[in-house]
Structures are given as structure tokens and as C-alpha cells.
Amino acid sequence: MAAKFLSISLLAFAKLGFAAHEYSDNDWAHNHDFVIKDLAPIWFFSDGACYPQAAEINGQQTNGNGASGCGVPAGSHLDSGCQSPGQWRGAGTQGTSFPTYWTTTDCNDGTRRVCYDIYFRHDSGHESDWEYACVVLSRASNGLWFRNGIILEEDPNQAYISWGDLETWDDGQSFTDGGKRNGNHAMIYSAKFHHTMFAHQYTGLGKNNCATTVSEMFRNNDFYWPAANNLQPGTNIPRNWNWGKAASNPQALASSVCGYHPF
């Protein structure tokens, strides 16, 4: 993630390494790719779940497939027809690459929201599924943009978590140590059956329990993928493509994200 044009402010944070980076308008204008990568989350998934994949290939929309239901381990299978994450080698296994689609939106409340959206061919309830995490940036009195928190898709609503309450990751950190505070990359856990996004793991009811109570949905760190390793502009996904019940495709999300007021 090296970059040619870092501002003095960003270099200072990179050298000190004790807090999440902050960004100047110059960073945003001239080092935009670095900023988008630096804000990108680390996604975590459970073994046996439907794993994300590209939403389009060579300009053609990826078709969803039949919902898996909750018949696991017998009957239907969560991962049927989905991209394979690869061989599981224990907690913190790096999964197969898939794209994360990003968009940016400046809101009237003075925040800047950078959304990261991923596509699944189905979840346990319907064909096609878009899920997201949106980093909310606020501007400090010194003019620098800082991570205020993150908006997570939690069916059927959204949740907001302040950045200081998140598990986060920085280069050189283990993916199995639960994360540290105030790092650059949020660690986001996808529920096994519904793909709802969470800031923490939950394994209390067991891996094969298809809980509908949001807080009890199973999620852990069997597989991970750093979004920064495969980022694509959300504009690659046409707004008019029909995804059925999966309404939060990248451009639709960008146009609606300012309607959520976390503070």
C-alpha cells in the first residue's frame, strides 16, 4: 500500500504508529487510492457459509442462486453454488480473493462516508445478498479527517459503532488475537446464515444454529480477507441491475447512506 504523495500529517501518523491515520484534503485529492485502502475493513467468515464473490464478470451481472435455508448440516447447504474460500486450516485462514466495491459520499451533516460492499450469491433466506460496512469520517478542528465510527448492515436495520469500540487491525498484527483498539482497519464478522455484519464474534449457540435474533447470529474468524487486497469502484456495478431482495448494491447504498444519522 505504498504511496507517492503522502501529506506531512499522514506520514507523521504512519511513523508514530500509535493511532489510526488522519487525512488532509490534499490526501483525499492526490492520494485517494491509498486513503480508500487504508480505511478498508478486514472481512471474517465462518467455515461452511456462502462465501462472497464478484458481482459482475466482464460487464455481465452475476446471477444469484437458490436460498440455502437453515437445513445445515442435513438437507440444503449454505455454501452450495458459492465461491469456495479454499481449504480451511484453522482460525484465521486467508480465504479466496473476492472484490469489495467502494463508494464515497459527502453528507450534509459534515461527515464523509466511505462504504464497502460485498456480494454473495445467496443467504439462508433469498437469492443474491449485498452486505456493507461504511466508515464515517469527521473533520477535526485542525482540518484533518478522522475515523469517527462505522455503520454496519444488521438486518433489517443499521448499527453504528464508534471507532474506539471496534476491534481493529494494522500491518503485522495476528488475525486471531481479537484485534486492538484505534487501528486503521475495522475487523468485521459476517453472520454464517444471514451475512449480517458485526463488530465482534459470537459463538454462543453453536456454528449450526440459524438464529434469527440478530445478536445471537453465529459469526467467527475461520476465514478472513482484507478488503484492501481487492478493491473495485462501486460504479462498476450498474445502478439499474435487479438484485431482488438485495437492495443495498453499491450505488444504491451511496445514495442512501446519508439518511442514517448516528449522532
Which has the closest alpha carbon to 44: 136, 133, 151, 146? 133
Query: What pairing do the DSSP bridges indicate for beta strands 197-198 and 56-57?
Result: unpaired
Identify whether the C-beta of residue 213 lies closer than 8 Å to the C-beta of residue 243. no
pLDDT digits (tens, 9 = 90+) for 123-156: 988 899 999 999 999 999 999 999 999 999 987 7
The mean pLDDT of 218-234, rounded to a whole number, is 97
For residue 154, what pLDDT is reported?
85
The DSSP code sequence of 4-49 is S---HHHHHHHHH-SS---B-HHHHHHSHHHHHHHH--EEEE-TTS
> For residues 257 and 259, what is the distance between their CA atoms, to the nearest angstrom?
5
Query: Taking the model in full, what pTM does it have?
Result: 0.91
pLDDT confidence band for 97 (50 / 70 / 90):
very high
pLDDT confidence band for 19 (50 / 70 / 90):
confident
For residue 180, what pLDDT is reported?
87
> For residues 48 and 118, what is the distance between their CA atoms, to the nearest angstrom?
18
Least confident of 60-74, 83-97, 212-226: 60-74
> For residues 249 and 132, what is the distance between their CA atoms, to the nearest angstrom?
9
Q: 172 pLDDT exceeds 50? A: yes
